[in-house]
Amino acid sequence: MAYVIQSRPLVAGCAEGEVLLSDKPLSFWGGYDSLTGEIIDRRHPLSGEFAAGKILALPFSRGSSTTTAVLLESMRGGTAPAAILTIGVDTFYALASIVAEELFNETIPILSLSPADFERLKNGDTAKISQSGEITISTQAEKEPAAR
């Protein structure tokens, strides 16, 4: 099954990947290893998951003001998520992408979703993001048809 939602692009761009989702906010400082892309906040439900290249969906960033710097480092090192989806406007993630554009002419899409659209997301969904902020979500059932 697939469906389409419209998000608000804070930083627009195209991306496609597996959704890595949590309803708990994450501070990248102390929570994200920019060398490997691993989520290392041992109190976070996604602890131990690798977010590099995935569509990371979190309600908002938490705590430290160094989150932006860690995300910028991971973008430079190629270990950043392919895109980040949040509820509402999270400036910490958006800023990293804006500065990356100034510094090395690269961005990752940062998109703001309504709470209802965010709640429909599931871990393992595939998301395809367009420049306009339209997101096509394919649920796992369709992606991996059960072996019959």
Partner 1 sequence: MDQSTTSKKVHLYLSDYDRELLAGERGPGAQMSMRIIVRMAEILGVERLIDIEAAHIDSSLYMGAATLEFAEKLVDLGAKVSVPSTLNVSGVDEHGWMHWAVPPDWAENAKRQMRAYQEMGCIPTWTCAPYQTEFKPKFGQQIAWGESNAIVFANSIIGARTERYPDLLDICAAITARVPAAGLHLEENRAGQVLLRLKEVPDRVQRHESFYPVLGHLMGKISGEKNPVVVGMEVEPEWDQLKALGAAAASSGTVGLFHLVGITPEAPTLEDAFQGNEPEQEIDVTMDHLREAWRELSTASGRELDLVVLGCPHFSLAEFERLALLLDGQEKHKDVEFLVNSNRTMRALADEEGYLRSLEAFGGVVTVDTCPLATPMLSPDIDEVMTNSAKYSYYAPGMLDERVVFGTLEDCVLSAVEGRVVRDESLWHT
Residues near partner 1 (CB under 8 A): 7-8, 10, 25, 29-31, 34, 40-43, 47, 60-70, 72-73, 75-77, 87-92, 94-96, 98-100, 102-103, 112-115
CB of 16 to partner 1, least distance (A): 22
Matching residue, tokens 């991996």: 144
**Catalytic one of 47, 64, 114, 138:** 64
Choose between 18 and 33: whose C-beta lies nearer to partner 1: 33
Radius of gyration for the chain, computed over Cα atoms and rounded to the nearest angstrom: 14
Choose between 40 and 124: whose C-beta lies nearer to partner 1: 40
Q: Is 7 a catalytic residue?
A: no
19-52: string of b/e by CB count within 10 Å (b at 16+)?
A: bbbbeebbbbbbbbbbeebbbebeebebeebebb
CB of 125 to partner 1, least distance (A): 19
In angstroms, rounded to a whole number, what is the distance separating the alpha carbons of residues 22 and 121? Answer: 10
CB of 111 to partner 1, least distance (A): 10
Alpha helices per DSSP H over 90-139: 91-104, 115-120
Active site (catalytic) residues: 64
